[in-house]
């Protein structure tokens, strides 16, 4: 646990008692603060009370008097589409807002660090797509290289649940826009921006607000090194703002759409080969094509970003290459779950938006595509041009018929996962890939994308076994 610093003897309100909220309460108490907790869910409040935390209705008038700060869980809106009533009361009363990420960055550095030969470092990864894989890949590379590392944030453990930093250790954080937009402290040593595509636009008041939330990771505290995907205009703009000039190697540019040139520090992938170029000279090259855990151009982008981040931490190219080869992949992200009769079954349930689904569709040939769910803002127009390899789509979800009408490929309305898997398996031919890449949220039929992916895997395994 990371005890929270700066609030000893003071009351701090915690709104939302899910994983991050309860961890915040524990870390605040460990640092000597007095947490005052609230959640609309009585069962969640009971869990907090069982641990000895006082729960007080923060919606009542005067509940925030003598409160030093309000710690807000990521899912609770504080600006768009409208502030939560407790947040609105805090804004009116002048009570500072923060979240567990802000508490972590203000508290992670500990007394005694000046006695260490190599102080702990923090690598933070954000972006629209690929941030989970990139963060997990950095952690995998560090672990394989023998560096003590912890994975936390939006993946792995909560940031305040991890162990204090030790000699030469690295904390790798995956951070969503919900987390970066509110944190009052954002001071990673290395910050990574994978890419940007429309997502969570209602929460951020549009694309500009969404980019601004991501951008805060790079501008609030200023990382020592920044790894920036420059294949979208926002990434190119961010890299330009951070660099003092073309030769500034504090900014590492990453691309999978073109060869990067110039006097700076670049990592790019073309036709499955990763290249590192520094000061105009090639420093390393890696063949990514045979790595099963990293299929497709989108995963090559993740590999480039992870490679670049690990190079800033002093790892040698050959060490990173060996670790990339052993990377098993993450569940629900281009995860190969079975191979039988010449057919490959891939679970990419995390492809919850159009852009991530399009990238998955470009990673495989001859696809039997399982898609559908709760459609996100903007529709499915972004999938056009990405479906050349799709032999047929099998559409799930409560609005499967409407979803299918927007597709530019032959589509069968299946509604349920069981029916979609059965039909795709029945029609699949040797060389085909049965791919779950929904291009939609899961909440019309599942609690989360993990449950949707698990259902797909279970159906595949059941039918292969029977």
Say what the pLDDT of residue 384 is: 86
Binding-site residues for ATP: 127-133
Say what the pLDDT of residue 261 is: 92
Residue 253 and residue 161: Cα distance in Å, rounded?
A: 32
Quick one: DSSP state of residue 17? -
Say what the pLDDT of residue 328 is: 85
Say what the pLDDT of residue 58 is: 95
Binding-site residues: 127-133
Instruction: Name the percent of the chain lying above pLDDT 90.
Output: 88
The tokens for 110 are 């500990």
Residue 252 and residue 228: Cα distance in Å, rounded?
A: 6
Say what the pLDDT of residue 404 is: 95
CB–CB of 225/121 below 8 Å?
Answer: no
CATH topology of domain 109-325: 3.40.1190
pLDDT tens digits, one per residue of 347-406:
999 999 898 899 899 989 899 999 999 998 778 988 988 999 999 999 999 999 999 999
C-alpha 362 chain-centroid distance: 21
Which residue stretches of the chain have pLDDT < 70? none
Please tell me the CATH superfamily of domain 11-98, with its number. NAD(P)-binding Rossmann-like Domain (3.40.50.720)
Q: Is the pTM of this model over 0.75?
A: yes
Instruction: Find the farthest-apart pair of alpha carbons in the chain and give their distance in angstroms, rounded.
Output: 68
> Peptide bond preceding 294: is omega within 30 degrees of 0, i.e. cis?
no
The tokens for 348 are 């990419």
Phi-psi region of 397 (alpha: psi -120 to 50; beta: other; left: phi over 0): left
**What stretch(es) of the chain map to CATH 3.40.50.720?**
11-98
Cα-Cα-Cα-Cα dihedral of 35, 39, 45, 48, to 10°? -30
**What stretch(es) of the chain map to CATH 3.90.190.20?**
335-465
pLDDT tens digits, one per residue of 11-65:
999 999 988 999 999 999 999 999 999 999 999 999 999 999 999 999 999 999 9
Report the SS3 class of residue 236. Answer: helix
Quick one: DSSP state of residue 441? B
Say what the pLDDT of residue 1 is: 94
Please tell me the CATH superfamily of domain 335-465, with its number. Mur ligase, C-terminal domain (3.90.190.20)
């Amino acid at each position: 646990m990371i005890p929270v610093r700066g609030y000893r003897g003071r009351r701090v309100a915690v709104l939302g008692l899910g994983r991050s909220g309860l961890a915040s309460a524990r870390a605040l108490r460990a640092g000597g603060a007095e947490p005052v907790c609230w959640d609309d869910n009585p069962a969640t409040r009971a869990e907090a009370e069982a641990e000895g935390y006082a729960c007080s209705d923060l919606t009542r008038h005067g509940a925030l008097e003598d409160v030093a700060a309000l710690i807000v869980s990521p899912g609770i809106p504080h600006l768009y589409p409208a502030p939560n009533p407790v947040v609105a009361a805090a804004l009116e009363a002048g009570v500072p807002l923060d979240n567990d990420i802000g508490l972590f960055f203000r508290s992670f550095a500990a007394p005694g660090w000046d006695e260490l030969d190599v102080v702990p470092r923090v690598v933070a990864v954000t972006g629209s797509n690929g941030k989970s894989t990139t963060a997990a890949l950095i952690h995998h590379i560090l672990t394989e290289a023998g560096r003590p590392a912890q994975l936390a944030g939006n993946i792995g453990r909560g940031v305040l649940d991890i162990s204090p930093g030790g000699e030469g250790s690295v904390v790798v954080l995956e951070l969503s826009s919900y987390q970066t937009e509110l944190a009052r402290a954002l001071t990673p040593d290395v910050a990574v921006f994978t890419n940007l595509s429309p997502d969570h636009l209602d929460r951020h008041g549009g694309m500009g607000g969404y980019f601004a939330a991501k951008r805060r990771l790079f501008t609030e505290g200023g990382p020592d090194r920044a790894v920036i995907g420059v294949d979208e205009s926002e990434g190119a703009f961010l890299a330009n703002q951070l660099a003092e000039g073309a030769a500034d190697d504090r900014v590492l540019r990453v691309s999978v759409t073109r060869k990067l040139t110039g006097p700076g520090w670049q990592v790019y992938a073309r036709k499955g080969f990763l290249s590192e170029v520094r000061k105009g000279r090639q420093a390393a090259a890696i063949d990514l094509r045979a790595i099963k855990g990293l299929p497709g151009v989108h995963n090559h982008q993740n590999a480039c970003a992870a490679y670049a981040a690990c190079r800033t931490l002093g790892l040698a190219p050959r060490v990173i290459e060996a670790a990339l080869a052993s990377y098993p992949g993450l569940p629900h992200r281009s995860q190969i779950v079975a191979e039988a009769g010449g057919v490959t079954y891939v679970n990419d349930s995390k492809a919850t938006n159009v852009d991530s689904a399009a990238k998955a569709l470009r990673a495989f040939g001859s696809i039997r595509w399982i898609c559908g769910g709760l459609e996100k803002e903007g529709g499915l127009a972004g999938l056009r041009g990405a479906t050349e390899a799709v032999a047929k789509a099998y559409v799930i979800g409560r609005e499967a018929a409407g979803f299918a009408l927007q597709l530019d490929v032959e589509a069968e309305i299946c509604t349920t996962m069981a029916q979609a898997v059965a039909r795709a398996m029945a029609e699949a031919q040797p060389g085909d890939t049965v791919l779950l890449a929904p291009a939609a949220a899961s909440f019309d039929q599942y609690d989360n994308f993990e449950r949707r992916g698990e259902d797909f895997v279970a159906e595949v395994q059941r039918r292969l076994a029977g």
